[in-house]
Structures are given as structure tokens and as C-alpha cells.
Amino acid sequence: MVLATSEGSGIPPELVSFLGQPGGRSVIIKGGAGTGKTTLGLEILEKLGMEERSFYLSTRVSDDALLRQFPWLKTVESRNRLYDAGKIFLESLAQGEREGTPPASPQAREKVAQARSLLRSLGEESTRPRHVDRTQLGSLLQRSRMPELEHMYERIERVLPEKALLVVDSLEGVTHKYGLEMEELVMALQKDLAENSNTNVVMVLEKPEAGGIEYLVDGLVSLSREEVDERRIRHLRLEKLRATAIPRPRYALTLAGGRFRALGLGALARRDALAPPSRPWTPLRDSPTHFSTGIPDFDALLGGGFRRGSYNGFELDVNVSIEDYYRLFAPVFLNFLAQGRGILGVLSGGEAPESLREQLIRYVPARIFDDRVRITDYFAAEPKAPYILPMLRAGREDAQRALQSAERAVRGEEDPQPYLEYTGFDTLEYLQGDQLAIRTLFMGVERTNLMGDVGLGLLKPGLSSTAEIVNMMETYFRLVSIDNTPCLYGVRPRTMLYAIVEDPEKGPPQVRLIPMV
């Protein structure tokens, strides 16, 4: 079986590695109603299985219903993998008993299985069997015929010795239909197919707890969902993957477009900040009424971008890092600079002017940054670089003159342009106190509105002035980190939750906003 890469499949790399190991593996996907179990099973079938070697057995949803819910399954190769249990059962009744040699007795099959196991341990028999082991299934058939399972065993046998993939959705559907104990069915699939017939078996469990059958299988994946500020969040947890390292046990996920996608699998998740840029930044043009954010999805969310003359607030959760929120802000900065517009900033605690410059000049010329960016540094006494405005020893009048000079630099002397004012309010509150910081913002909002510029305000946890500052913002967004994935949602305007992920086609620093549904 040839497995897709995790970035291309949307499936966690740990699960891809687990199912790609030699021999068969079994895994149970468990979770409450609506958590995405069926969608994950289908995604595994589509992305990790090979045509003619992978099968989907549904006992609770018909083929037609699946195709309505997941239109991407309508390709011929995908549809051929779907087998509705009820349809197979009716076909079996109409055709009567299948032709062929009756199966051997359960006792004989058990001896054969034991012998194969011994020979494999001694290295004297290939781990690529040519016949499906029916030992456990034979015992179950003594009590009741199970046409759909018999049919699947035959299908799998036809592709041996190549590796097969079977997705059973769901375990409850089969056990309820034939009056089996859950443990009996899982044991049969594990022993007959996973251990002895070179088959990966993915089993969907329709409840959040496995009820004591976890020890029977090689892997256990749980899906869950919760709400944060009345917005839905889904999680995937890798609870067990036998003989596979699990460096990252939890993933945020989305089911947007009927596809399963674990988030944080791309280059940004690898935090490859030192990779060379693929190409210079190509700006998204501003409209007469709005400044583009440099992110098409964010522009659409804002109705065209940031309105000219507006001040816009971003409140961070405690677990959001500088790297996380720079995923969103870097395209905004680059889009301004690439159009010959400047930035006047007061950086937040932990940010450094040199680091910001290093990141941005990978996509715009260094001379543009040095000419059109001015960073106010209240802890510097001397100018260390043309873009740094030292304010440590400046008196009130000197500081005012320095700020006016900086504003002329970022706006441009010959052809004045609007500029971006970026403010970390934790720095202002630390230096000036909350009331003076609020007054500074009030003057900044008035100036921005009068001159047609745009302001971005960053609010970190624990600020005394947050409520007053938020009230002066035209838009107000919150950034949170969910399972190591930075996410964004709007309070004003109210929006759903979006994951901030690398654009898969253009690469960093360009990003997409993926709806968390």
C-alpha cells in the first residue's frame, strides 16, 4: 500500500506512519455523535488506501446517503469501494449459497493459524499471506450467517498478498444486527485480518468510550468537540498507536467541505522560519475604501479589508505566541510595505525591531523597510538603526519632535501616503499607566480617522485598560491557540472560528483562514 504524506492527506503523520508499517494494523476511531468519525474513516479510505485494495463497509448509512453527504465520493474509483451491508445481505439471499469448497473446521483453522504464527516468528514464512485467515470468522458463522463480512473477507483475499484496507462503519451496526458481543467481532477482525491477513482494519465506534475493548486493537483514536465562546471546536486525540511514536497526541480539526483535515501539518507547523523565501511579496491592491490585509480570506471576512480611517483590535489568549500572531500580522505589514506605504509601531513585550526586520526583508527589499518603518523603542538611548526611534532619554518636547519626524518618514516626503500604526498596548500601559495609555489610544484613533490611515492594536492578557480600549475599536478579534494551531474569531463583527494555516499553494508567509466546522 502506498501512503500519502500527512500534509497532502490532512491526516496526522503519526496515524499515516502507523498504517504504513509492514503487516496489518487495527485501529478504533471512537467519539460522540457528530464528531467526524465517518468523515475520518472515509478520508483514510480515500487518501491512504489504494484503488481495488480498500473497502468501506457501512451498516448504518446507504451508499446514496453517503454520496449526498460527501459529494467527493462520486468518482468511479471511490464509489467502487463502498459496500452497503443491507445491499450485500439482500444480494446474498437472492443468489443463495456461494460456490466453492466448504471451509475447514474451526479446530483445523486454529491449528493452521498457530503454525503460521510460529513460522513467522522463526522467519521461515513470508509475512505476505495469499489467503485470508477465517479462524475467528468461522467460529462466529457457527451461530449465524454474516453475508457482508464473508463478502469482505473474499474481497480482501482477491488482493492478497498486497496490503488491503477495510473501514467498518460501525462496530455497533454489525454486532446489533447479528447479536454479537463487541469483543467477539473486534477479536475476529484483529486476528483474522490485521494479524494474519496483511490488512489494515479501521473500525468506527459510535460512542466516546471503547468499553474495555481497547486492549484488543493496535491503535485507538478519539474525536471530540466542545464550544469556546459559543463557537465549535473539534479535537483529535491519538490515544494509542502500537510501535509508533506519538510526538503530538492532539490535533485541532475541521470538517469544512465534508473533508477531514487535522490542522497544523504544513511548513508553519514545522516552524521552519529560516527557510529562504520562494518569491518576493506580491501585494493585494487596496480599494478606495479599504486597505487589504494581504490575506484574501481575511479581506473577504472584513468586507474588503481594514476600512480606511479605522482602528482594529486583536486580543490574545495567554497561550498565543509571537510567532502565532505574526502569521496574521506579517502579511498585513508586507502588503503595506510592498505598495510603498509605511509602518509606525510600538512593539509589544517580547517583540524586537531587529527580528521584525529580519522576517520582513525576506520578502521586501531591506531599503524599503529602513526607509518606511519606524519603531519607537522606549528602552533605547541611542539610534541603533535608521528604523529605530530611541526614546529613553527624550523629554516631552524632544519626543514630540521625534514622533513627528518619524510620521513624515513613514508617510513619505514627496508623495505622502497613508500608513499603518501598530501598537502593543501592554508596552504603553507598562510605561504610562492604564489611563494615559487609553488617552494615547483616543488621540491615535482620532488621528487615524482624520488622516485616513489604519491602526492595529494588540491586547495581551491581564491589561487593566482592555475594556476601554476595545470600546474604541471598529473591529475586535480574539486569537486563541487550539492544539498548537493559532485560530481567530471576530467579536465585532461576529464570526465563526477560523484556523490560521499556511497557504498550501503559495507557501509562507501567505496564509489561509480555514473555517472550523
**In tens digits, what is the pLDDT along the chain, a chain of 517 residues?**
444 444 556 899 999 999 999 999 999 999 998 899 999 999 998 888 887 899 988 865 555 555 555 565 556 455 555 555 555 544 544 454 444 444 456 665 565 556 555 545 444 444 578 899 999 999 999 988 888 899 899 999 999 999 999 999 889 988 998 899 999 999 999 999 999 999 999 999 998 888 889 999 999 999 999 998 999 999 999 999 999 999 999 999 999 988 999 998 754 444 444 455 558 999 999 999 999 999 999 999 999 999 999 999 999 999 999 999 999 999 999 999 999 999 999 999 999 999 999 999 999 999 999 999 999 988 777 778 999 988 776 666 777 787 888 888 999 888 889 999 999 998 888 888 888 778 888 888 888 888 999 999 999 999 888 888 888 899 999 999 999 999 999 999 999 999 999 998 888 999 999 999 9
Residue 344 — φ and ψ, nearest 5°?
-115, 120
Pick the CATH number of 290-515 from 3.40.190.10, 3.30.450.40, 3.40.50.300, 3.20.20.450: 3.40.50.300
Is the preceding peptide bond at 170 cis, omega within 30 degrees of 0? yes
Write down the pLDDT at residue 61.
53
Strands, E assignment, 175-230: 199-205, 219-228
**pLDDT at res. 378:** 80
Cell of residue 388, nine digits: 529605530
Q: What is the number of alpha carbons within 13 Å of residue 465 lying toward its C-beta?
A: 25
Q: For domain 6-262, give its CATH number from 3.40.640.10, 3.40.50.300, 3.30.420.10, 2.40.10.120.
A: 3.40.50.300
* Closest to 58 measured CA to CA, from 70, 75, 47, 72: 70
Query: What are the CA-CA distances from residue 260 to residues 154, 263, 495 (Å)?
Result: 29, 10, 22
Domain regions of the chain by residue span: 6-262, 290-515
Which residues is 231 bridged to in the sheet? 228
Read off the C-alpha cell for 319.
497561550
Give pLDDT, residue 352: 93
Return the C-alpha cell found at 105. Answer: 473446521
At position 234, the amino acid (one-letter code) is R
Q: Is the dihedral of CA 434, 436, 440, 443 positive or negative?
A: positive
Which residue(s) pair with 28 in the sheet? 203, 220
Beta strand 373-377 with 26-31 is unpaired
Q: Give the Cα separation of 264 and 15 in Å (integer).
A: 14
